Amino acid sequence: MPVTDTLDPLEELIAEIAKIQESIIGELRERRARLSRELAGVDAELAEWTGEPRAEAKAPGAAAVEAAAHRKVTLAELMAELEGAPEKTLNIRKAHLDAKVIKALAKANPGLLKLGGKGSWPTVTLLARAAGKKAKAEGSQQEIFPDM
């Protein structure tokens, strides 16, 4: 059994676990925000009844809210999105993708993904030769390993 056959399911499981983990984290953050709003309402009601000024809590900044909105995708999901994109390229910010995750995926897969763009508008492109590699991987064992 080639090593790549065992790594693909393992990578998929790791990616699936990461996706579930991010989903849970997102749900907990939403719950915390909802509870914070409810607590602010309770504080306002207490202040009204007691006549004491209420302590104002800071709302999360725009940067924190924006950072939570970025999607963390797996390599397979990213490749599927790039296949459907014009010129097989996506603007990372416009697609609401997490730039750190995309950069890590591109660094780990230089034959598949290429980072581009200028300044604060980075892009990611699915390389043409990656499609050829995928086609070869789906071929027969004789096509992949002609010496055998």
- The pLDDT tens digits of the residues spanning 117-133 come to 887 789 999 987 544 44
Chain mean pLDDT for the chain: 77
At the second CATH level, the architecture of 70-148 is Orthogonal Bundle (1.10)
Q: What is residue 140's predicted lDDT score, i.e. its pLDDT?
A: 43
Element (H, E) at 117: strand 113-118
CA distances from 68 to 7, 23, 71, 83 (A): 30, 11, 8, 26
Band of pLDDT at residue 113, cut at 50, 70 and 90: very high
Q: What is residue 3's predicted lDDT score, i.e. its pLDDT?
A: 52
Residues contacting residue 97 through CB under 8 Å, at least 6 positions apart: 70, 71, 72, 73, 78, 90, 124
pLDDT 10s digits, 19-70: 999 999 999 999 998 988 888 888 888 888 888 776 655 555 655 555 556 7
Q: Where in the chain is the domain with CATH 1.10.10?
A: 70-148
- CA-to-CA distance for 103 and 124, rounded, in angstroms? 9
- 102 pLDDT higher than 70: yes
Q: For the chain, give the percent of residues with pLDDT over 90.
A: 16
Q: Residue written as tokens 């990611």?
A: 124
Exposed e or buried b for every residue in 41-80, given b needs 16+ CB within 10 A? eeeeeeeeeeeeeeeeeeeeeeeeeeeeebbbbbbeebbe
